Structure 1
Amino acid sequence: MFGRALTSVFWGVVADRYGRKRVIMIGTITMVVFNTLFGFSTCFWMAVVMRFLLGSMNGFLGPIRAYASEICRKEHQTLGLSTVSTSWGIGLIVGPALGGLLAQETLHMHNEEHTEGHCTFDDMESPSNLSDAKEKSEEIKQEPPSKESLLKNWPLMSSIIVFGVFSLHDMAYTEIFSLWAVSPRKFGGLSYSTKDVGEVLAVSGFGLLIFQLFIYPSVANVLGPMIVCRILAVLSIPLLSSYPFIAMLSGSGLAILITCASLLKNAFSVSITTGLFVLQNNAVTQHQRGAANGISLTAMSLFKAVGPAVGGAIFSWAQNRQGASFLPGDHMVFFILNVIVGIGLLMTFKPFLAQPST
């Protein structure tokens, strides 16, 4: 995250100047290279350096968000950006789920053949689409470039700050959820194994896909992305408050409730993120979108870099106050998460958040 924070603006500017596809391809290649080297790390610092280089050289998320907003008509922007958020959110959920499931195994099969799907740009480079792309590029050239500094664009900067607050919350929640799920029941946890956590995350990932593709776009088109953000932020507060009480259950009832709660929480978080993506991309002209998304990713990366440390520190501190009279144990953990949500919610209103004029 720190490496990405240092270079996200650079990659955004490169994408604006030389094209989205080049940056996306560079990011894809470097992700394969440095993730592989990370897996082959022989010491802690080699692993840290490989992760830093992975973040520094991987700048495709911002251009992908800009690209998704550009290839969709205005009425389909929420669906386009929702797809980006969904794929990213599912990756963050399915990845740990696979890790939790595979952590129980001792036999590693390296000789199996896997056929992985891959994305190409062939369709976009077909003769029929090349003419459309040429027309669009001519229209872009005719559009006079804006001289306004992105840092002075308050609709953009205010939405980025709000996005950073929710990113901090999401990263802290992700850290806390796994720690809470595997902690013993005497400390307010679920006493889950890594396999159990993996199963919960896998099911919630599938539910997230359904929610983002079939429910969120329709609701956002009717109510607007910002109204949906506020509603889901409000609903997140009682949902998080229910976690310590869910932990008091046992058996199948516990499994069902915690899976449903995890599904809803992840769906709410990704939907809030998608709404802020829409605001950010609408706040700038097309030739500035790469740089704008780079600034957004820089802020997000900084907040997410401290998120795990914040979440882990809060959880550890709360474990030592199980007998407190006010918000004992995990009640304090989820209360603090709710405070962060509340701050983010308040920041979505005027005068702080300035929405771009349509």
Structure 2
Amino acid sequence: MAGGGEIDDIHETATATTAAPLLEKVYWEGCPGCAAEKRKEENPGIPYLQFFRIWIIILVSCLPITFIYPFLYFMIRDLHVAKTVEDIGFYGGFVGASYMLGRALTSTVWGMVADRIGRKPVILFGIFSTVVFNTLFGLSTHYWMAITTRFFVGSLNGLLGPIRAYTIEICRDEHQAIGMSLDSTAWAMGLIIGSVIGGYLAQPAEKYPELFPDNSLFQSLQLCCSYKLHMVPGVSVMVYQTFIYPYIERILGPINTSRVATVSIVTCTYILQNNSVTQDQRGTANGLATTIMSFFKAFAPAGAGIVFSWAQKRQHAFFFPGDQMVFFMLFVVEFIGLVWTFKPFLAMPEQFSSKSSS
């Protein structure tokens, strides 16, 4: 019996010795993915520094979208392209849509490029192109120049898909909700800062004549101060995504959270789409998602401009007169979006479901 016990001990020791190396993770030198996994293994806490850098990059990408809307109406008016006041919204919609149209056409390509050559080159080029063509947009003196430069700002800025994939890759599974909420908080801050920049720095020759004299370059810029209503939803989204959303997501899960509040659906969708593919396909997946999202965002301003211009001409109609028709159409679209959050349209991937159950 004693001999049998010794044999069992030797067998268990040998089994533990042979099984131990299989449990150890191997990190290859020069592998970016291995380096990211090693950092997550050595630092189990929240990567605040990396999150801050990502937040700044997304903010830079959001500002060109948000800063235009406070003065877009007056820009179209001063470009003298609209024959009547009611047509200003029609032409303004195409300027707002040109950015998203360009992004819709190229986001998938940028995602594939990021999977091949890495996230960093695509992100750097996106920031550089934004600076160049956004400056040219500010110098636009013709309607088609404004549309063209906005189109290039969107088509050459392909950093959103890669930066979302990078966010998932640098944080642990329990921190994904916080990482994905960076996109929404940066967007909210972009609504605030963009509206301020677009309003207070518009038409400097008229507002600050002591600094910018008449007949100067700044007087020719077709910009004007307008309302700051974008700041209100910006503050609310930023506070919610930063302090409330991570706790709700842990309790309800991403799908139930998206059903509760539409402000959370963007972040929940990011988590689902990043967990539905492998690491080497995340750039392409996020690029494809950005393409589809940008397509509808490109259609929305143009369609809204047409609908708004049409609504202004039917102020005394019997069925939803004037602006009531615009908000009725918005309600229909939001209701369809709510229906699509239920099965079979939206379901959690098996990989993510197993993580949640465990």
Q: Percent identity?
A: 55
In structure 1, the residue matched to 2:299 is: 306
Do residues 95 (structure 1) and 194 (structure 2) align?
Answer: yes
Work out the number of aligned pairs and report it: 240
**Given the superposition, is the C-alpha separation of residues 282 and 325 from structure 1 closer, same or farther in structure 2, using an over 3 Å criterion?**
same
- Does the aligned pair in 1 maintain the 2:191–2:231 contact within 8 Å? no
1 CA distance for matches of 2:128 and 2:211? 23
1:292 partner letter: A
What is the DSSP-based 3-state SS (H/G/I as helix, E as strand, rest coil) of the residue aligned with 1:322? Answer: coil
Gaps spanning 5+ residues in structure 1: where?
113-192, 234-267
1:111 shift after superposition: 8.0
Do residues 225 (structure 1) and 254 (structure 2) align?
Answer: yes
1 CA distance for matches of 2:167 and 2:293? 19
Q: 1:216 aligns with which of 222, 225, 245?
A: 245
Q: 1:347 aligns with which of 340, 345, 355?
A: 340
1:288 partner letter: Q
**Given the superposition, is the C-alpha separation of residues 319 and 60 from structure 1 closer, same or farther in structure 2, using an over 3 Å criterion?**
same
Q: 1:78 aligns with which of 155, 161, 177?
A: 177
2:197 partner letter: L
Please, what TM-score do these two structures have when normalized by structure 1? Answer: 0.61
1:305 shift after superposition: 0.9
What is the DSSP-based 3-state SS (H/G/I as helix, E as strand, rest coil) of the residue aligned with 1:328? Answer: coil
In structure 1, the residue matched to 2:120 is: 21
- Does the aligned pair in 1 maintain the 2:191–2:230 contact within 8 Å? no
Q: 2:325 aligns with which of 332, 335, 349?
A: 332
**Given the superposition, is the C-alpha separation of residues 276 and 326 from structure 1 closer, same or farther in structure 2, using an over 3 Å criterion?**
same
What is the DSSP-based 3-state SS (H/G/I as helix, E as strand, rest coil) of the residue aligned with 1:284? Answer: coil
1:340 shift after superposition: 0.2
Structure ID, larger Rg: 2
1:286 shift after superposition: 0.9
Do residues 54 (structure 1) and 83 (structure 2) align?
Answer: no
1:303 partner letter: F
2 CA distance for matches of 1:331 and 1:343? 19
Please, what TM-score do these two structures have when normalized by structure 2? Answer: 0.61
Gaps spanning 5+ residues in structure 2: where?
1-99, 213-223, 353-358
Alignment of 1:160-239 (within 5 A): 195=226, 197-198=227-228, 200-233=229-262
1:108 shift after superposition: 5.0
Alignment of 1:234-273 (within 5 A): 268=263, 271-273=264-266
In structure 1, the residue matched to 2:142 is: 43
C-alpha deviations, 1:171-211, integer Å up to 9, x for none? xxxxxxxxxxxxxxxxxxxxxx964x21x332432332211
Deviates more, 1:337-346 or 1:216-225: 216-225
C-alpha deviations, 1:268-308, integer Å up to 9, x for none? 2xx22111111111111111000001111111111111111
**Given the superposition, is the C-alpha separation of residues 18 and 332 from structure 1 closer, same or farther in structure 2, using an over 3 Å criterion?**
same
2:256 partner letter: I
Q: 2:281 aligns with which of 267, 275, 288?
A: 288
Query: RMSD between aligned alpha carbons?
Result: 2.5
1:42 shift after superposition: 3.9
2 CA distance for matches of 1:324 and 1:40? 41
